Amino acid sequence: MKITNFRNVETKEVDDPDAKGVKVRWLISEKDGAPNFAMRLFETEPGGHTPYHQHAWEHEVLILKGVGNLVTENGSFSLNKGDAVFVPGEENHQFKNASEETFIFLCVVPHQK
């Protein structure tokens, strides 16, 4: 059992040359004994974005604060507080801040085996 407020979890800059102004907190991960998947909180500055990329694993996302865009091969879609987003494996995607406030979202991913 673990309870921790997100504010008490270390913030790391997302270490990817195609990311800009994105920080991540690993709220629950393998270190906590989580056997299957990890819960991360992303904070994206105004003008910031994750890389436009693809990978084998899925994302399950909940938008917590701010306004963003999800960029895909099929266009760009507005993201607002309370939106749930499922990004299947292998699909190109990018999360972008679209406002002047911090864009915050939760993103759950399976552990990389």
Residues that bind a copy of itself (CB under 8 A): 1-7, 9, 27-28, 32-37, 39, 58, 60, 62, 64, 70, 72, 74, 77, 79-80, 82-89, 91, 93, 106, 108, 110
The vertex-55 CA angle with 50 and 61, nearest 5°, equals: 55
Q: Closest by alpha carbon to 62, among 3, 2, 1, 6?
A: 6
Shortest gap between Cβ of 6 and a copy of itself (angstroms)?
Answer: 5
Query: How many CA within 13 A on the CB side of residue 51?
Result: 10
**β-pair type (67-72, 94-97):** antiparallel
**Min. distance of Cβ 110 from a copy of itself in angstroms?**
5
CB of residue 19 vs a copy of itself: minimum separation in angstroms? 20
DSSP state of 88: -
Nearer to a copy of itself (CB atom), residue 17 or residue 74: 74
Pick between residue 47 and residue 89 the one whose CB is nearest to a copy of itself: 89
Helix (H) or strand (E) run with residue 70 in it: strand 67-72
Least distance from a copy of itself to the Cβ atom of residue 86, Å: 4
